[in-house]
Structure 1
Amino acid sequence: MKFLAILAAAMAMLMAISNAGAQTPQPEAATPASIRSAPANPDADVPPALRRPLRDASSGPILLRYQAMQKLKRRFDEADTDGNGALNRDEARKAGLGFIDKNFDHIDTAQRGNVNFEDLKAWIIQRREEARSR
């Protein structure tokens, strides 16, 4: 089915090219120099079915990691019921952040009894690097 759509688009493009040659050409002198020297849109003659969309700069792994980190930050802030900027084990457990509760001792490297978001980010980055090195 996709092949038929591409074939139909290619046929339409060939017909457009052959029809363009049948028209009488305009003298070049009648066209202003600024227009003659301007590069034509390379996709103007390509049928929409054959055009490849430009890669969207607003997507990709970096953006996905950023969005995931922002979501985690919101959940972290919501779990911080006393508003001190850090979570203790009980706050993490009550908020449903079981991975923080489960790994609390590894995240709390300073052994303060609470973890702030920077501690959590450092632990996540460390885990990601360990996973890559395997």
Structure 2
Amino acid sequence: MRWMIPALALAMVAGHAHAQGTMAPATAPTTPAPAATAPASPAPSVSTQAAPATKPAAKPAGKTASTSHMTLQQRFDAANTTHDGHLTKEQARSAKMTQTVRHFDAIDKDHKGYVTMDDLHAYASAQRAQHRTTPAAKPAPTKS
């Protein structure tokens, strides 16, 4: 049953792309003109060029860019459904911002119940500084 929805979606996209690219140009109706009133003229030439290549199907309008390609600001704005600049833990959870949810209490130092972009930047800077100053752990020497 899981494969059915992706298969139907693929069939719809393929059918849509096929319908856009394989239509032959419309021609005039083939009713003969009366011989007495039509002047003799050469027949219009029919183009023998191949139809232009079709473009690949575009992304569906409802799809957004992958979260791995979005900046932190874009992810924050998308998750902040109230558009007030305050991201709650529930908003972060629903937007699948797992690192923000996991470290929410550490990021929210003032225990306001929300974090801002400044809080996220300050937390990231503190983590980078801590990582630079902490020496790498050496394995314990083994006795033989």
The TM-score with structure 1 as length reference comes to 0.47
> Which structure features the higher share of helix residues?
1
Give the greater-gyration-radius structure (CA): 2
The higher relative CO (CA closer than 8 Å, separation ≥ 6) is in: 1
